[in-house]
């Protein structure tokens, strides 16, 4: 089994932050990222971009792990 490295943990953390932010938006109409860094600010846009890239990376990682598990069967 593959151990998680720093990139994996960073992607997981950013994806969790994004999920929590979407939860706050859905439940309370409160956008934490925009509140902390400003609506439409360059820093907010960078955070949103990193969260999106992290999600794509985790999809890729999960599919690789799934393929590897399928080969073992």
In a domain, 51, yes or no: yes
pLDDT in tens, 40-65: 999 999 999 999 999 999 999 998 88
Half-sphere exposure of 27 (CA within 13 A, CB side): 7
In a domain, 72, yes or no: no
* Residue reference for tokens 């960073």: 10
Alpha carbons 45 and 34: distance in angstroms, whole number = 9
Structure tokens at 73: 């069967």
**Considering its fold, how many domains does the chain have in total?**
1
In a domain, 1, yes or no: no
Mean pLDDT to the nearest integer, 27-51? 96
Confidence (pTM)? 0.82
SS3 state at 63: helix
Show the domain range for 11. Answer: 6-67
The residue among 68 and 65 whose pLDDT is bigger is 65
In a domain, 40, yes or no: yes
In a domain, 20, yes or no: yes
């Amino acid at each position: 089994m593959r151990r998680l490295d720093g990139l994996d943990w960073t992607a997981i953390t950013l994806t969790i932050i994004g999920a929590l932010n979407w939860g706050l938006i859905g439940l309370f109409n409160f956008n934490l990222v925009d509140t902390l860094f400003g609506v439409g600010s360059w820093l907010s846009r960078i955070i949103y971009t990193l969260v999106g890239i992290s999600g794509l990376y985790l999809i890729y990682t999960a599919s690789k792990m799934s393929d590897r598990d399928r080969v073992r069967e």
